[in-house]
Amino acid sequence: MTAKPLSILPDPVLRQVAEPVAEVTDAVRQLMDDMVDTMREEHGLGLAAPQIGLSTRVIVMDCSDEDDADPVIWKMANPEIIEASDDLVSMEEGCLSIPGYRGEVTRPASVTVRYLDVDGIQQDMQATGLLAACVQHEIDHLNGRLFIDYLSRVKRDMIIRKMTKEARFERED
């Protein structure tokens, strides 16, 4: 298992709609393990494959409390929201691919997600609270959507301009 480098805004892979996984193979399981390593190394709650430069519909999450003796690591291929509550909740979100920026995002308070597990078996997951926000955030990545897209146009455009400028300076170095 190996941590991978992150794709940072304005990397175009972050705005692409990711390709579905045809089958959960050993290679997909290895990708999931590498993504968990990357998520942990970067101190994130979740990670989508586009965040490591791969346009494929795979996410991993660990929304456990630091105190949890037995944390739950979610590994999902082709996750999709099949039901969302009408009740909404706002939470402050950040993103490993947009370091240094955070914003208040309003999302459904609970969702049902259908996905393929590490064995390729279809599962349904009910999520509320932090887990619901996290899974929606990661599925957004698979659809080329970022948390900044939920912010005001002014704030979103400011973040994009700053990130693009920083990327330009890094390429010139």
Give the separation between CA 131 and CA 136, rounded to whole angstroms.
9
Sign of the Cα pseudo-torsion (76, 80, 83, 89, in order):
positive
- 153 sits in which H/E element: helix 153-172
Give the separation between CA 139 and CA 46, rounded to whole angstroms.
10
Concerning whether 138 is annotated as a catalytic residue, the answer is: yes
Q: Which of 23, 66, 104, 138 is catalytic?
A: 138
Give the separation between CA 92 and CA 113, rounded to whole angstroms.
22
What is the 3-state secondary structure of 65-133?
CCCCCCCCCEEEEEEEEEEECCCEEEEEEECCCCCCCEEEEEEECEEEEEEECCCCCEEEEEEEHHHHH
Catalytic residue IDs: 138
